[in-house]
Amino acid sequence: MTTSFVPFRLNPWFSERVWGKKDLRPWYSDTGTTEPVGEAWLTGPQCVVETGPFAGRTLASLGDELGGEFPLLVKLLFPADKLSVQVHPDDAQAKALGETRGKTECWYVLEAAPGAAVALGLRDGVGAAEVKNAVADGTMESLMRWVPVLVGDMLFVDAGTVHAIGPGVVLLETQQTSDVTYRLYDYGRPRELHLEKGLQVIRTKTAAGKVSPKPMDGFTRLIEQRYFVVDRLDVNAGDEVRVVMDGAGCLVGLAGSGVVRFGGDEVELKAAQAVVAPMGSGDVTVRTDSAVSFVRCVAPV
């Protein structure tokens, strides 16, 4: 095994957002800022490698060593207020608008207060013209399909889906490595809107919605789509599991801690941090002295 393919753990990068929280406990005790944080990027280009031969370098700087840009952007979202109503283009739309790629994503619900909900898609009969009028008169929320959410729900957010997230949740988001977001409506907050581009990429019907979990051999498949596969694994104390890494991906700790082993090397798997397994690193094993839960996020080859 070459050093180029040794899995490594990343430090999260915290993104300040007006709708975020100042206290992210129990996930993080310190964010390095006193401003509200909305997103913890676990595999973002700015994330710094914490372990192994690449320690101290950003994920973005490893493109040559890893054979290209890491294909998945995995985040934790911490909304204390409503996120803007927004839409993302697909790959073809993004390229036509001068972007590198589109943004298809999914959300796995880790925390949900009573009554928590997200918006996924437009109501029947609503199109771009109705959206434009509703943005102007402040009635945009009434045009969307609001979906109640519970802990353990997985939601697919297809490109072209008009969507929003309400407060009272913590979400694990897995998406294409892209930050192309067209903000359609922001509840009167003084932030830039991208209405012209957003209206171009809206789809009235998409595949967005809740996804039923599928029991597999030793894990639970949460979602399987073109750009990502996300599985949950729950390992009992003292057990060791082999984790197949078909393609570039990462393991993200949810609860407890364990040790990720590969060849003669190992790295600790911690809650709310990602251990990246680049393309070609091969399968790994996870062992724990106490119970641990984590997700495997992989970009299909």
Tell me the CATH number at 137. Answer: 2.60.120.10
Dist. CA 2–CA 294, nearest whole Å = 26
Same domain, 41 and 161: yes
Last residue of a domain, one of 170, 191, 210: 210
Same domain, 132 and 46: yes
CB-based contacts of 73: which residues, under 8 Å, 6+ apart? Answer: 41, 43, 44, 173, 174, 175, 176, 177, 178, 179
**At residue 1, does pLDDT exceed 80?**
no
Whole-number pLDDT of residue 2:
40
Task: Quickly state the pLDDT bin for 129 (edges 50, 70, 90).
Answer: very high
pLDDT average, residue stretch 181-188: 97
Ordered DSSP codes for 71-91: SEEEEEE--SSPPPEEE---H
Last residue of a domain, one of 187, 210, 233: 210
pLDDT average, residue stretch 9-34: 97
**At residue 5, does pLDDT exceed 90?**
no
Whole-number pLDDT of residue 6:
82
Number of domains in the chain: 2
Q: What percent of the chain has pLDDT over 70?
A: 98
Does residue 200 sit in helix, strand or coil? helix
Same domain, 148 and 224: no
Write out the catalytic residue numbers: 183
Dist. CA 151–CA 153, nearest whole Å = 6
Burial class from Cβ neighbours inside 10 Å (0-12, 13-18, 19+) for residue 249 reads buried
N- to C-terminal Cα separation, the chain: 20
Same domain, 189 and 227: no
Same domain, 226 and 260: yes
Whole-number pLDDT of residue 151:
98
Same domain, 173 and 95: yes
Dist. CA 59–CA 250, nearest whole Å = 13
Same domain, 223 and 137: no
Same domain, 52 and 161: yes
Same domain, 238 and 141: no
- Residues 183 and 191: beta-carbon distance below 8 Å: yes
Residue range 42-52, pLDDT digits in tens? 999 999 999 99
Same domain, 33 and 124: yes
Supply 203's token pair. 């789809």
- Residues 249 and 220: beta-carbon distance below 8 Å: no
pTM: 0.96
Phi, psi of 92 (to 5 degrees): -65, -45
Last residue of a domain, one of 144, 177, 210: 210
Range of the domain at 146: 3-210
Same domain, 70 and 52: yes
**At residue 280, does pLDDT exceed 80?**
no
Dist. CA 165–CA 101, nearest whole Å = 23
Same domain, 178 and 271: no
Whole-number pLDDT of residue 264:
83
Integer angstrom CA distances of residue 246 from 19, 48, 82, 174: 36, 24, 36, 17
For residue 271, the 8-state DSSP code is: B
**At residue 263, does pLDDT exceed 90?**
no
Q: What percent of the chain has pLDDT over 90?
A: 91
